[in-house]
């Protein structure tokens, strides 16, 4: 059983690439952080494995498929021996999918798959993580959303495209606010990382991963109870619902 008494503990989903990987990488720059990096296929996560080899015990990789509810329900068994009695400080629900569609071309199965991965999965991950968060110090949940989930911004971002993705992120935003209402002892934030140069964001994006993630980490580590339920950008600015 690992001792985490003097470390800040993090659980990050979708950690094998993109935003999740960069979050993991930056957190490991400080030995005071212990990171549990969850991904679909750990045996293929070569970049994560390379990080682990130099992390001196501060990185643990666990298998998690956020679209598979049985996989999520098995998560506590995987992370309990890592966390020991110290609990979990931060949960970052980052894993997600995006497929191009419009209101009149969307495939119902794709919409359901997107909701399952981007909204229902994070809801269930949060449910199974709460007992660990209750024992942690920070007690923070960060849901990685998108400005594409902002109804107020729909005329500016996305218009009719990526409809299933936008619906799923708008629902994730509501989930975050509902969590804030139900559990005022937790700090729950929904956040847009910006348009980032990742496999999902493509190289046409405006932000380098390092810049976006540095902002995200500043926002979540500095967040207080007064910030719970807010919809923020990586810079800390509020996004209209």
Domain boundaries in the chain? 8-233
At 1 the pLDDT is: 39
At 125 the pLDDT is: 98
The tens place of each residue's pLDDT in the chain, 241 residues long, gives 345 668 999 999 999 999 999 999 999 999 999 999 999 999 999 999 999 999 999 999 999 999 999 999 999 999 999 999 999 999 999 999 999 999 999 999 999 999 999 999 999 999 999 999 999 999 999 999 999 999 999 988 766 789 999 999 999 999 999 999 999 999 999 999 986 767 665 666 677 888 899 999 999 999 999 999 999 999 999 999 9
* Topology (CATH level 3) of domain 8-233: Rossmann fold (3.40.50)
At 204 the pLDDT is: 66
Give me the phi and psi of 204, to 5 degrees please: -80, -10
pTM here is: 0.94
């Amino acid at each position: 059983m690992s001792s985490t008494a003097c470390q800040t503990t993090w659980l990050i989903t979708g950690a094998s690439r993109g935003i999740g990987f960069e979050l993991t990488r930056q957190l490991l720059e400080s030995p005071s952080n212990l990171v549990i990096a969850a991904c679909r296929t750990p045996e293929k996560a070569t970049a994560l494995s390379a990080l682990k080899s130099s992390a001196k015990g501060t990185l643990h990789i666990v298998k998690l498929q956020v679209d598979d509810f049985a996989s999520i329900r098995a998560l506590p068994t995987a992370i309990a021996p890592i966390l020991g009695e110290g609990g979990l400080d931060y949960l970052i629900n980052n894993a997600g999918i995006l497929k191009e569609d419009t209101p009149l071309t969307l495939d119902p199965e794709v919409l359901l798959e997107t909701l399952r991965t981007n909204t229902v999965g994070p809801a269930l991950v949060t449910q199974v993580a709460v007992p660990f968060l209750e024992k942690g110090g920070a007690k923070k949940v960060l849901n990685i959303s998108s400005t594409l989930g902002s109804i107020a911004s729909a005329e500016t971002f996305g218009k009719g495209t990526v409809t299933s993705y936008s619906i799923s992120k708008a629902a994730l935003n509501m989930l975050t606010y509902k969590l804030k209402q139900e559990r005022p002892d937790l700090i729950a934030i929904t956040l847009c990382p910006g348009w980032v140069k990742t496999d999902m964001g493509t190289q046409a994006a405006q932000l380098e991963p390092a810049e976006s993630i540095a902002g995200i980490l500043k926002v979540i580590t500095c967040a207080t109870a007064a910030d719970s339920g807010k919809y923020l950008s990586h810079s800390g600015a509020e996004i209209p619902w």
